[in-house]
Structure 1
Amino acid sequence: MYALREALRQILRHPTSSLATFFTALVSFALLYFLGLLLWNLERVVQGLERELEVAAFLAREADVEALLGEVQNWPEVRAVRLEPKEEALAQLILDYPYLAEARDLVENPLPDTLRLKLSEPEAVREVAERLRRLPGVEGVEYGGELTERLVQVMAGSRVAMGLLVGLLLLNTFFSVMGAIRLSVESRREALGIMLLVGATRRFVQGPFVLEGVLLTLGAGILAVLFGGLLYRALAQAAQGLLPFLPVLGQDDLLRTGGVVLLLALVLGAGGAFMASRAHLKEA
């Protein structure tokens, strides 16, 4: 109780520095939480695209279909392969464009038989496509990997930018906590010196300052998680209203991410306060 009472007293004694530290931590944790959710959601989108990624190989009329199927099924990157006869392709095309039904009996089916491949290793899509082009009887290859590859590149760049931003935000919060605790220590320098002279342990002296730092950062972290979660849910609902197939994070995902943010808040608050108060005790 002594540590909690003294921590609250120090926060109220220096409202300007306490509020500055609190709002610095609030902005940092809100950005960290919200941007982390967006990045995680983007990864879910990329993973969904990778699972649906398909490579289509268009076959010549004289192609040995059975030999091609046997060859492709043995490739380690291929999860499944099926033959789409040209009649099935034409029927699907007519379903998509009904006005073509009238021309079906007037001209010969111009569509080729097609091998459609699902990959167990989506990152190998370009290599698989090039290998398919070299097979005898394959006239052309198409795959939807361009978009996925670009998204993967965007993800890689986003992770780097996120890492730099997170590092700067956490350092800013850490030093802000240190500054606030340093001010609290300076205001009680004489009292702390007397406590040490009469036999108070260093842990006892540091306890209120560490708790002060934790209260400031943990309170900011809780508010950041609450507001960031509400903002993400609102944006996710709006996005799904426009794109119902778009995957979004569930409540458990939000809670796990919020737990990480609160753990960081606890570590930064306690660590910054401990470092600042330890520096005073060394001087003492």
Structure 2
Amino acid sequence: MNRLLYMLRETLTSLRRNVAMVASVILVTFISLTFVGAAALMQTQVNQMTEDFYDRLEVSVFLCTESSSQSACPTGAVTEDQREGIEQSLEEGAASQYVSSYRYESQEEALENFLEGNEDSARADSVEASDMPESFRILLHEPEEYPIVTELFAAAPGVETVADQQETLDQIFSILNGLTLVALIIATVMIVCAVLLVATTIRLSAFSRRRETGIMRLVGASKSMIRGPFVFEGVFAAVVGSLLACAATWAIAEFLLGQWLSQQVPGIRFIDSSDSWIIMPLLVLIAAVLAVSASWLTVRRYLRV
């Protein structure tokens, strides 16, 4: 117990002597781990969006119209029998085992949906219901099985084309994953800077206290007694920085994602501060491990005991 109190007392003394360097370590650790926390939050959000969007992934079977191309619809506009055949396949046929639910969208409904999404378009006034294709909008039990359903209906009579949102979603998620990667790269560079700064701080502290450590060696102090305060100094600065990063991560999750973005984009379910509590212990652990490693290696190299 006396040894621990002594090392803590020496650590506080060293912290007072190196306030500027310790503050630098805290700030660099704070910034770097904030990037790590932001990247983790972003990846958590991407995973949640992926799950939500794939649950709502629709396969759209667009039926032939009078204006469809001859190559896509050689028999002309879809007939009643063809439409019923497609619906029967969805309910009882080969596609039924993959279909969770479906809905039919008439030309009038398609026009209404088009006008709602293109109110300011100059083309909106010239579009008529006959220009819009009828369609079946299909939700699948397993969204990953969309290629099977696409193949089943692609060559069916009366079908002009089969489309899904997979390509669009893949593009969105690739962009978001790219942003996560950029944040991780920046965080890695900043963490390297933090480790180097911890090592520099410990080296300067050891140099400034070389007379004291020499006396301690002469009186028979153990290696752990001499090296301990230097390691504690690095760990203290890094952990304080990590706690600040935890606070920043919580604020990003609570206010930016949980409140502001959820109000701006109501159609997407955003993560909130509860998800940040999973990330916080990881940030503290990263800071502690890196600080212990950097401090111990620096002390072993520059503080001969």
TM (norm. structure 1) is: 0.80
Give me the whole-angstrom Cα distance separating, in 2, the residues matched to 1:267 and 1:274: 11
Q: Which runs of 5+ in 2 are unaligned?
A: 64-77, 117-128
Local SS of the residue matching 2:94: helix
Please say if 1:227 is aligned against 2:227: no
Letter in 2 for 1:13: R
Q: Percent identity?
A: 22
Give me the whole-angstrom Cα distance separating, in 2, the residues matched to 1:253 and 1:90: 44
What is aligned with 1:32?
Answer: 36
Q: 1:136, CA displacement in angstroms? A: 4.9
Alignment of 1:46-125 (within 5 A): 46-59=50-63, 60-61=78-79, 62-63=81-82, 64-65=85-86, 66-67=88-89, 69=91, 70-74=93-97, 78=98, 80-82=100-102, 84=104, 112=134, 114=136, 116-118=138-140, 120-122=142-144, 125=146
What is aligned with 2:7?
Answer: 3
Q: 1:52, CA displacement in angstroms? A: 0.9
Q: Cα deviation per residue 1:65-122 (whole Å; 9 max; x = unaligned)? A: 3346522234xxx462436375xx7578779989xxxxxxxx99x8646261325244
Local SS of the residue matching 2:61: strand
Alignment of 1:125-274 (within 5 A): 125=146, 128-129=149-150, 132-236=153-257, 237-274=259-296
Please say if 1:280 is aligned against 2:302: yes
What is aligned with 2:66?
Answer: none
Q: 1:209, CA displacement in angstroms? A: 1.2
Give me the whole-angstrom Cα distance separating, in 2, the residues matched to 1:126 and 1:263: 43
Q: Cα deviation per residue 1:196-241 (whole Å; 9 max; x = unaligned)? A: 3443222222211111111101111112222342244222312222
**Contact 1:57/1:115 (<8 A) preserved:** yes
Please say if 1:41 is aligned against 2:41: no
Give me the whole-angstrom Cα distance separating, in 2, the residues matched to 1:222 and 1:185: 26
**Contact 1:34/1:228 (<8 A) preserved:** yes
Local SS of the residue matching 2:188: helix
TM (norm. structure 2) is: 0.75
| Distance change in 2, residues 1:113/1:180 (3 Å) | closer
Give me the whole-angstrom Cα distance separating, in 2, the residues matched to 1:72 and 1:279: 69
Give me the whole-angstrom Cα distance separating, in 1, the residues matched to 2:300 and 2:101: 65
Give me the whole-angstrom Cα distance separating, in 2, the residues matched to 1:25 and 1:188: 25
Q: 1:178, CA displacement in angstroms? A: 0.7
Q: Which runs of 5+ in 1 are unaligned?
A: 99-106
Letter in 2 for 1:72: A
Q: 1:192, CA displacement in angstroms? A: 1.9
Give me the whole-angstrom Cα distance separating, in 2, the residues matched to 1:131 and 1:198: 86
Q: 1:15, CA displacement in angstroms? A: 1.9
Local SS of the residue matching 2:163: strand
Letter in 2 for 1:144: Q
**Contact 1:43/1:155 (<8 A) preserved:** no
**Contact 1:73/1:81 (<8 A) preserved:** no
Letter in 2 for 1:82: Y
Q: Cα deviation per residue 1:17-53 (whole Å; 9 max; x = unaligned)? A: 2222222112212232234323422332233222211
| Distance change in 2, residues 1:2/1:34 (3 Å) | same
Give me the whole-angstrom Cα distance separating, in 2, the residues matched to 1:151 and 1:222: 32
Give me the whole-angstrom Cα distance separating, in 2, the residues matched to 1:81 and 1:26: 49
